[in-house]
């Protein structure tokens, strides 16, 4: 049976198209109920119970649950609760959900995949008995609702078991009842069950029906979408992304194409939340203001704070107000509960850990219990009459202050997907006893008899690269880089692939690793462990002793690493002159070549930058940090690095040549000269000139800036230079100008990431491209689509940035844990001089902190004066420049439970009335900075 779907659409050019598609109707679509005699069901398709026992007091008869689209979209948190079972999801609903929200769709699919939940997808759209045509004058929604009811009716007749439709749409429910189907709203249904968690996880949407106590309109109304559209088109409104200020909750910036618009005041902010895409209307020029520079943390006090301030004409910025939210970017937020002062009240305020997210009103009956926990809450909406957005409780993370809990908070705050790998993902893995099949071996180059080894930091379990090198009879060297062949296991389009693409990178925290791919791959099948046969993707060069490339070849191979070494161990072998083994010679060959490569790279203008890197020595039992050690660099580090760079560059050239439109590359844009100002000024003050005309000049002038008596000075210059740089980013070659492909930091015309596919998804894509280049694998449509690649790159860049921040936050967390028990005076250097603070670096801990100079105390004003021209702070005859040495006192301020802060006080040079005394005397001079009276339990 055949029918046609006819619809009209407008193409991108605006052409009106009539689309006709075939739609086949079948008879062989089954009900999925156990023991059904009418359907030719196979065992694996029997998902629903034959007699689904009711768990709800609204209807005691056994019944199947039908979910409506709105119920899924609004209440996915509740649907994820394992309480409800025997659910039928009509395809109509699945398609609608997919169309409306890809994130909810993904979550719904996870739920469906969970066999324990007994959820059956019923392909009603292709079953002849349940397919319906749209009627004249019927909207799509009405038609779909009718299709869902039709499916429910069919089931009732087919199975003899009652169908219950859960829908939040009253009209749909009424029509269902007319047809003899029971229908309830999901919330009513959930509340009539005896599950404790289910009703808590309900979305607060229905709150908008009952207004809060203070039902006056707090906010101006948003414009309707059509008006916004016209406003944008006519240029009366601007569209941009809303960034809330981290210091002042009544201030924000909207970054539009034209201006960065300042937003001030509650009414102007008009319910926008950080990350939202909003429409702003600019205020008349007379009303423009300047950023307040004030720190306002508490929302309650805010109204009283009305600052009378002279506004300098130059300081005035483009100011506007928000008139509509175009796209909400609400996430789940973590934070703590601020209990309602009224005892027994079920409405509480949730305080997000991110300070720029407003407090959220939630309803929970477990308030007392949750008060000491970190929670995750989702925002449901923000009605005009409510001062706070309304949300619902999602889950509790654990006790406040626990390292585990805090770690989880950290991951959530950085939007790092860290849930366990779902069953769907795990199903895509090879079996535990996977071995290389002879067919696979036949397709690959067998390199098992070549001396290959890997060199990594100690304790590394995800080894993605290995090397080999030997002398050829003609005097040249053959050197090879072997990368774990992850793309062999992660096939495009699988759940595993999608998950990896979403995660994009493995995240390294101080005491934890959040893998991009499941452990079986990352630490076993893909890890090039010593003595085990592994699949790899090899890049092999013939190099002259002068490290000139004669030829490059790529192939998939099988290797058997002779040794998985640490940098230290490899260094020892190289240094041991008596060791003449093949392995030692191989390493020495690599080392010699690497030195030449590095020298050449430096000559080309590659930058050698620095960032303070430290490691914690963690107690093996308590996992509390014991000691901080900075990372050591050895020759072998640079040896591995050089070959990885070489492999990456060679790969970049190859894939760009073969796929000029869709090669995934990495570029590092040259920073604008203004970025270097602080560096130039700081170095100038110390008597050095930094030339920033190109990377080579910069590199040279950095090399020259050495103070013989201060070895740390050069490192600091490099740290500063690093701060001047822009972020390196992934991009698709087809959507970027060729002139922008350059990698500034490495001084390479082309660059990509090829060498760490276990922990970076970019490398997986590059592997696939390279495999397609050499005919070892097939391409697939998404790989050949430059728009899709571009979109992927955006996610990769975002995740990478977040992973970096999370890594830093993790270090900060451990630093806090470390300093909880101590107060120390340490030597530090000024990195930057700011208007009201000094940015201080403590080399010993690689730690950076802010030393506040301004004073909030009106009676006791700050003695410092800031000079904007040479970036100095002056107090009396003491002047602070960048790179000046200080001694500061470090301790943790635990007064704010949400934000424990590491506080720095100045010890030396001593400034009366500001600095603190030597370590013996622990009375700080300013009251705010008193460490709180010990641990809060």
CA distance linking residue 125 with residue 144, whole number of Å: 10
Q: Which is nearer to other proteins, 96 or 408 (CB)?
A: 96
Closest CA to 479 of 487, 488, 490, 470: 470
Q: Which is nearer to other proteins, 17 or 577 (CB)?
A: 17
Contact between 742 and 645 under an 8 Å Cβ cutoff? The reply is no
CA distance linking residue 608 with residue 172, whole number of Å: 66
| DSSP per-residue string spanning 670-723 | PPPGGGGHHHHHHHHHTT-----SSHHHHHHHHHH--BTTBHHHHHHHHHHHHH
Residue ranges of the alpha helices (H) in 235-292?
266-269
How many CB atoms sit inside 10 A of residue 580's CB?
8
> Minimal distance in Å, beta carbon 89 to other proteins?
11
> Minimal distance in Å, beta carbon 8 to other proteins?
4
| DSSP per-residue string spanning 114-165 | -GGG-EEEE-GGGBTTT--PPPTT--HHHHHHHHHHHHHHHHHHHHSSEEEE
> Minimal distance in Å, beta carbon 19 to other proteins?
6
DSSP SS3 for 246: coil
> Minimal distance in Å, beta carbon 144 to other proteins?
13
Indicate the helix (H) or strand (E) that contains 437: none
> Minimal distance in Å, beta carbon 161 to other proteins?
21
What does the binding site for other proteins look like in residue numbers (CB under 8 A)?
2, 4, 6-11, 14-26, 29, 91, 109, 112, 121, 123, 125-126, 134, 136-140, 226-227, 229-231, 233-234, 236, 491, 493-494, 772, 775, 777-781, 784
> Minimal distance in Å, beta carbon 443 to other proteins?
9
Strand partners, 351: 336
> Minimal distance in Å, beta carbon 779 to other proteins?
6
Closest CA to 594 of 467, 704, 702: 467
Q: Which is nearer to other proteins, 9 or 116 (CB)?
A: 9
Closest CA to 667 of 741, 745, 747: 741
Phi/psi region, residue 529 (left: phi>0; alpha: psi -120 to 50; beta: rest), is beta
Q: Vertex 513, ends 512 and 514: CA angle to 5°?
A: 125
> Minimal distance in Å, beta carbon 483 to other proteins?
20
> Minimal distance in Å, beta carbon 223 to other proteins?
12
Q: Which is nearer to other proteins, 139 or 578 (CB)?
A: 139
> What angle, 0 to 180 degrees and rounded to 10, lies between the N-to-C axes of helices 140-159 and 91-100?
150
> Minimal distance in Å, beta carbon 20 to other proteins?
5
> Minimal distance in Å, beta carbon 787 to other proteins?
14
Q: Which is nearer to other proteins, 36 or 218 (CB)?
A: 36
> Minimal distance in Å, beta carbon 80 to other proteins?
18
Instruction: Look at the chain and count its residues.
Output: 937
- Which residues, in sequence order, are CB contacts of 614 under 8 Å at separation 6+? 628, 629, 630, 631, 811, 845, 846, 847
Q: Which is nearer to other proteins, 519 or 785 (CB)?
A: 785
Q: How many CA atoms lie within 13 A of 688 on its CB side?
A: 22
Q: Which is nearer to other proteins, 700 or 785 (CB)?
A: 785
Q: Which is nearer to other proteins, 236 or 339 (CB)?
A: 236
Q: Which is nearer to other proteins, 146 or 392 (CB)?
A: 146
> Minimal distance in Å, beta carbon 246 to other proteins?
37
Phi/psi region, residue 670 (left: phi>0; alpha: psi -120 to 50; beta: rest), is beta
Q: Given the DSSP bridges, would you call strands 251-256 and 260-264 parallel, antiparallel or unpaired?
A: antiparallel
Q: Which is nearer to other proteins, 15 or 546 (CB)?
A: 15
CA distance linking residue 539 with residue 320, whole number of Å: 55
Closest CA to 84 of 7, 213, 190: 190
| DSSP per-residue string spanning 367-397 | HHHHTTEEEEEEEEE--TT-SS-EEEEEEEE
> Minimal distance in Å, beta carbon 378 to other proteins?
27
Q: Which is nearer to other proteins, 788 or 816 (CB)?
A: 788
> What angle, 0 to 180 degrees and rounded to 10, lies between the N-to-C axes of helices 786-820 and 495-503?
60
Q: Which is nearer to other proteins, 6 or 865 (CB)?
A: 6
Q: Which is nearer to other proteins, 229 or 356 (CB)?
A: 229
Closest CA to 514 of 96, 876, 249, 810: 810
Q: Which is nearer to other proteins, 487 or 815 (CB)?
A: 487
User: Does residue 909 have a cis bond before it (omega within 30 degrees)?
Assistant: yes
Q: Which is nearer to other proteins, 784 or 878 (CB)?
A: 784
> Minimal distance in Å, beta carbon 96 to other proteins?
14
- Taking CA atoms, 239 is separated from 258, 262, 264, 278, 321, in Å, by 10, 13, 17, 6, 12
- Taking CA atoms, 805 is separated from 240, 413, 764, 826, in Å, by 24, 10, 23, 25
CA distance linking residue 515 with residue 486, whole number of Å: 13
> Minimal distance in Å, beta carbon 4 to other proteins?
7
> Minimal distance in Å, beta carbon 467 to other proteins?
29
Look up residue 222 and give its two tokens: 């948003």
Q: Which is nearer to other proteins, 502 or 626 (CB)?
A: 502
Q: Which is nearer to other proteins, 418 or 784 (CB)?
A: 784
Q: Which is nearer to other proteins, 89 or 597 (CB)?
A: 89
Contact between 104 and 73 under an 8 Å Cβ cutoff? The reply is yes
> Minimal distance in Å, beta carbon 432 to other proteins?
22
Q: Given the DSSP bridges, would you call strands 2-10 and 465-471 parallel, antiparallel or unpaired?
A: unpaired
């Amino acid at each position: 049976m055949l029918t046609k779907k006819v619809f009209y659409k407008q193409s991108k050019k605006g052409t009106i198209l009539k689309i006709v598609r075939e739609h086949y109707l079948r008879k062989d679509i089954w009900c999925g109920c156990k023991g059904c005699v009418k359907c030719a069901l196979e065992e694996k398709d029997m998902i629903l119970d034959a007699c689904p026992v009711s768990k709800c007091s609204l209807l005691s008869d056994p019944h199947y649950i039908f979910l409506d689209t709105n119920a899924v979209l609004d209440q996915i948190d509740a649907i994820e609760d394992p309480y409800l079972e025997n659910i039928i999801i009509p395809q109509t609903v699945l398609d609608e959900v997919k169309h409306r929200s890809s994130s909810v769709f993904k979550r719904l699919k996870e739920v469906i995949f969970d066999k324990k939940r007994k959820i059956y997808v019923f392909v009603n759209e292709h079953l002849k008995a349940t397919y319906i045509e749209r009627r004249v004058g019927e909207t799509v929604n009405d038609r779909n609702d009718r299709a869902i009811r039709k499916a429910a009716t069919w089931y009732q007749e087919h199975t003899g078991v009652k169908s219950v439709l859960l829908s939040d749409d009253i009209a749909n429910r009424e029509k269902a009842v007319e047809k003899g189907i029971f229908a309830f709203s999901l919330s009513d249904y959930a509340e009539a069950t005896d599950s404790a968690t289910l009703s808590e996880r309900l979305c607060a949407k229905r709150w908008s029906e009952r207004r809060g106590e203070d039902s006056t309109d707090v906010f101006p109304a948003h414009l309707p979408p059509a008006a916004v559209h016209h406003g944008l088109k006519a240029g009366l409104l601007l569209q941009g992304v809303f960034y809330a200020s981290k210091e002042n909750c009544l201030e924000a910036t909207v970054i539009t194409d034209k201006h960065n618009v300042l937003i001030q005041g509650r009414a102007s902010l008009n319910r926008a939340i950080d990350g939202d895409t909003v429409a702003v209307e600019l205020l008349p020029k007379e009303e423009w203001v300047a950023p307040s520079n004030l720190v306002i943390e508490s929302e309650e006090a805010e109204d009283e704070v009305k600052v009378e301030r002279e506004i300098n004409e130059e300081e005035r910025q483009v100011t506007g107000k928000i008139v509509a939210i175009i796209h909400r970017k609400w996430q789940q937020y973590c934070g703590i509960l601020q209990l309602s002062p009224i005892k027994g009240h079920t409405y509480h305020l949730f305080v997000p850990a991110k300070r720029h997210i407003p407090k959220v009103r939630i309803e929970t009956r477990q308030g007392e219990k949750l008060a000491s926990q970190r929670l995750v809450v989702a925002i449901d909406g923000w009605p005009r009459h409510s001062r706070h957005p309304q949300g619902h409780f999602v889950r509790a993370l654990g006790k406040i202050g626990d390292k585990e809990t805090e770690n989880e908070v950290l991951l959530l705050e950085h939007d790092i997907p860290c849930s366990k790998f779902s069953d769907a993902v795990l199903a895509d893995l090879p079996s535990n006893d996977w071995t290389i099949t002879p067919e696979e071996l036949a397709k690959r180059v067998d390199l098992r008899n070549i001396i290959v080894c890997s060199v990594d930091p100690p304790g590394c379990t995800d080894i993605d690269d290995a090397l080999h090198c030997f002398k050829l009879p003609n005097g040249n060297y053959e050197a090879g880089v072997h990368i774990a062949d992850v793309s062999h296991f992660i096939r495009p389009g699988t759940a595993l692939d999608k998950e990896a693409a979403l995660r994009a990178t493995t995240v390294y925290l101080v005491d934890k690793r959040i893998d991009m791919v499941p452990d079986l791959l990352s630490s076993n099948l893909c890890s090039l462990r010593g003595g085990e046969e592994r699949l790899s993707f090899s890049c092999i060069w013939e190099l002259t002793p002068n490290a000139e490339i004669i030829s490059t070849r790529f192939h998939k191979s099988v290797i058997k690493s002779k040794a998985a070494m640490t940098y230290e161990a490899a260094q020892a072998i190289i240094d041991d002159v008596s060791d003449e083994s093949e392995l030692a010679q191989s390493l020495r060959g690599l080392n010699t070549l690497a030195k030449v490569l590095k020298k050449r790279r430096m000559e080309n203008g590659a930058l050698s930058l620095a960032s303070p890197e430290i490691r914690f020595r963690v107690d093996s039992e308590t996992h509390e940090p014991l000691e901080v050690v900075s990372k050591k660099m050895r020759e072998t580090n640079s040896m591995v690095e050089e070959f990885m760079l070489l492999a990456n560059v060679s790969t970049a050239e190859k894939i760009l040549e073969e796929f000029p439109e869709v090669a995934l590359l990495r570029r590092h844009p040259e920073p604008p000269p203004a970025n270097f100002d602080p560096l130039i000024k700081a170095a100038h003050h110390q008597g050095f000139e930094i030339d920033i005309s190109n990377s080579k000049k910069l590199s040279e002038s950095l090399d020259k800036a050495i103070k013989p008596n201060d070895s740390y000075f050069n490192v600091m210059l490099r740290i500063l230079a690093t701060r001047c740089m822009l972020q390196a980013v992934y991009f698709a070659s087809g959507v970027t100008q060729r002139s922008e492909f350059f990698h500034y930091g490495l001084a390479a015309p082309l660059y990509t990431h090829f060498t760490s596919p276990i922990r970076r998804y970019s490398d997986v894509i590059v592997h696939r491209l390279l495999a397609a280049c050499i005919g070892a694998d097939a391409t697939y449509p998404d790989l050949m689509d430059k728009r899709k690649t571009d979109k992927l790159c955006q996610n990769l860049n975002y995740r990478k940035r977040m992973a970096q921040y999370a890594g830093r936050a993790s270090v900060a967390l451990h630093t806090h844990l470390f300093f909880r028990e101590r107060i120390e005076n340490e030597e530090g250097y000024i990195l930057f001089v700011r208007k009201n603070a000094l940015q201080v670096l403590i080399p010993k801990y690689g730690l950076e902190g802010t030393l506040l100079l301004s004073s909030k105390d009106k009676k006791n004003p700050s003695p410092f004066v800031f000079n904007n021209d040479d970036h100095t702070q002056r107090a009396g005859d003491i002047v602070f420049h960048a790179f000046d040495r200080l001694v500061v006192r470090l301790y943790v301020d635990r007064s704010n439970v949400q934000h424990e802060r590491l506080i720095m006080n100045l010890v030396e040079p001593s400034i009366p009335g500001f600095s603190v005394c030597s370590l013996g005397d622990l009375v700080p001079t300013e009251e705010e900075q008193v460490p709180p009276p010990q641990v809060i339990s």
